Structure 1
């Protein structure tokens, strides 16, 4: 089912977290909150929306990293019910798409819940102070029209890096629902 996210809550202070990648290495969010800000991407392996943008995301992230903007990806799905999202498959997905950023396992789904992530992909652009300035999508091109893309995410993160603030008008993320364990909605 296709879901849209809520509009950006400008200035919301992003909670810190520590998560591990599939190899067990720990990453703390606040350690990656650099002078140019941080992009946090909630993604997973099995979602067709993520699969459609994974190569573009890797390309865009390399550009952002070249500008000093840090990036973390978080997988919050309950991988016990969705084995394709389990850590071994995450590592393969990251390799297959050339990810140059940590792809982290939200084992207990606490980070997804704290951020009120709704879908995959769901992008959170933070300024250097850890304040939310963007909640949206990679671009406004349709999945079948990458040539018509606007580079929404890249342009927004550049703006946040330069000014500390995101644009007033934003396109909400859209994608597959996060697969919560138990009865959490």
Structure 2
């Protein structure tokens, strides 16, 4: 089955700004969520099997690194008209159910996904303390249909590199998953251009 992989984004790119509300109406920007060492911006879904496969390990990653200065902010940009399970209320329930101890925001107009060049879910952008892109790649090699354990080894290695003050990882494997479900007529130029085998 064809899947979408993440776009190539130049390392060092500044984190695009945005202002999105959480389930309680609080407005979040990247600066609000930034930890002392960095920020992970994650484009997630409530229904994509590739996110479902990692969500508990992803929640653990966020808990593990929050105290070390790396914070997480997650964004759901899927069309909730066609996919009600991606609504703002569903986002709130997802966060509560799976212990997301970080803001999980709804990008209803999909402007943030466009600004980041997000293509798939999960799509992970790790920024350093200066909000410059340090890592844009996969969580790990585990997939819903392989037998590899979900460890987050690739994202964790990049995060440890930030904490250690060393160079960006030389290998950054593209993330792969479901395409973002774009509003009709709102598809970006990269939509459908990048697919890979499951």
TM-score range with shorter-chain normalisation? over 0.9
Partner of residue 154, structure 2: 152
C-alpha distance 148-84 of structure 1, shift in aligned 2 (>3 A): closer
Aligned pair count reads 185
Instruction: Give the RMSD, CA atoms, in angstroms.
Output: 1.6
Instruction: Tell me how far 1:170 sits from its aligned partner.
Output: 0.8
Distance in 2 of aligned mates of 1:129 and 1:162: 15
Distance in 2 of aligned mates of 1:107 and 1:165: 36
C-alpha offsets along residues 55-112 of structure 1, whole Å, 9 cap, x if unaligned?
1100111111121211100111111111000011111111111110100011211100
Between 133-142 and 119-128, the greater mean CA deviation after superposition: 133-142
Q: SS at the partner of 2:149?
A: helix
Between 159-168 and 100-109, the greater mean CA deviation after superposition: 159-168
Moved over 6 A (4+): none
C-alpha distance 134-180 of structure 1, shift in aligned 2 (>3 A): same
Partner of residue 194, structure 2: none
Partner of residue 196, structure 2: none
Residues 77 and 85 in structure 1, CA contact (< 8 A), matched pair in contact too: yes
C-alpha distance 150-18 of structure 1, shift in aligned 2 (>3 A): closer
C-alpha distance 33-182 of structure 1, shift in aligned 2 (>3 A): same
Partner of residue 182, structure 1: 184
**TM-score, length-scaled by structure 1:** 0.93
Structure 1: tracts of 5 or more residues without a match: none
Partner of residue 195, structure 2: none
Partner of residue 132, structure 1: 133
Partner of residue 107, structure 1: 108
In the alignment, does 2:168 pair up with 1:170? no
Structure 2: tracts of 5 or more residues without a match: 189-198
Partner of residue 69, structure 1: 70
Instruction: Tell me how far 1:10 sits from its aligned partner.
Output: 0.9
Between 44-53 and 138-147, the greater mean CA deviation after superposition: 138-147
